[in-house]
Amino acid sequence: MIAGLIYTLIAALSFVMVLSFLVFFHELGHYSVARFFGISVDRFSIGFGKPIWRRTSKAGVEWVISRIPLGGYVKFAGDAGAASNPDAEKLAELRAEYEKDPDGPSIDNVFHFRPVWQRALVVLAGPVANFILAIILFAGIGLTIGNQYYPSNVGSVIEGSPAAAAGFEPGDKIISLDGRDARNFSFVQQYISLRKNTTIEAVVERNGQDVPLTVTPRAEDVNDAIGGNANIGRVGLGLAEGTQPIREEFGVLGSLNYGVTQTTGVLKATGTYIGRIFKGKEDGKQLGSVVKIATVVGKVASDTAKADVPLGVKIKAWAIRMAALAASISIALGVANLMPLPVLDGGHLMYYGYEAVARRPLSQEKQEFGFKIGFAILLTLFVVLTINDIGYLSSIDFS
């Protein structure tokens, strides 16, 4: 009973730590670029709701930690309204309001009176910060433990599988998939998993000769790394027994390159999956909301705590696994925030794009209408993802 409570506490704290860290870094991106341009900031908040801690810096910025650690925000001087992008009429009212307050920030330092390109960079800085953080985290992992992977040596081909129909044979060495280097077996697994019912052009080395093969992965339900159900593409290939892993160790520059490579790899995989959803080739059930994030982070953290290894090994394993998860989630957070919905960073960028072309902001009425539409879409998406999460949760054994 007590052990169960401890593992639950570890899972919950791990989730809060990871999410709060990611939100902090995202908002730090907005904040840093705004301060670089000399834009006044009123508040930097981690979480929503009533503050549980606050401090005002010498620059006049109120730093806040709030009760609900599921988000955060940076409030610039003059922020008002759902769209946070006032039209010409609202800008005139805002200017008059600031001119009446001699103790307030200079109009020149108010976010809304800055050139549109500066405002766009401030908004874009949040998602970019998430991608930079992912690079840093992956680089840190590479510098700490390096990288280990298995070469793509085929050891078994399941009878009646797509691989057997395509002509794969034990002893083949997979060279490429659709022209991409596929000597890493983990890459082969990921590439195939994202392309169920889609033809893949493969090249294998057999008896010193390159042999082209065409294979179509079959959709199958499998358990993922934490035991949750996932419907992915499979072809029926197994790694050759006795295949020795290849280990890479990195210096500082090498680890940075590793961080960039891993980040771009996750971005490409994410883009592929989302693209397949729009093409009707995926049902989107692998996407999840904050519930799935909490489940994955918590399960990995608690499973690490349950491992029968020395405490020091547990702590190191926990740190590495949390860093890897945080990097992947950070990328997802950056991509999600670039969605062209007015309630997200991508929506603000869309409005700024209109302003740059039309030489004037979109009217307040149209902005607010866009906000309502965007909020409705986001709410619908949240409901759909929550349904996905419930199905995913029900497939996991938490014992």
Is 27 a catalytic site residue? Answer: yes
Q: Is the dihedral of CA 373, 337, 379, 48 positive or negative?
A: negative
**CA dist 307 to 9, 226, 280, 362, 389, Å?**
16, 14, 41, 56, 26
Residues 147, 140: Cα–Cα separation, whole Å:
11
Query: Would you state the structure tokens that stand for residue 154, as one six-digit string?
Result: 């085929």
Residues 213, 192: Cα–Cα separation, whole Å:
14
Query: Would you state the structure tokens that stand for residue 20, as one six-digit string?
Result: 């709060």
Burial class (CB in 10 A: 0-12, 13-18, 19+), 228: buried
Residue recorded with tokens 């999600």? 336
Check if the beta carbon of residue 325 is closer than 8 Å to that of residue 300. Answer: yes
Query: Would you state the structure tokens that stand for residue 381, as one six-digit string?
Result: 């998406």
Long-range contacts of residues 43-48, Cβ cutoff 8 Å, at least 24 apart: 43/73, 43/74, 43/75, 44/74, 44/75, 45/72, 45/73, 45/74, 45/75, 46/20, 46/72, 47/20, 47/23, 47/71, 47/72, 48/72, 48/73
Choosing from 27, 89, 93, 97, which is the catalytic residue? 27
Which residues are part of the catalytic machinery? 27
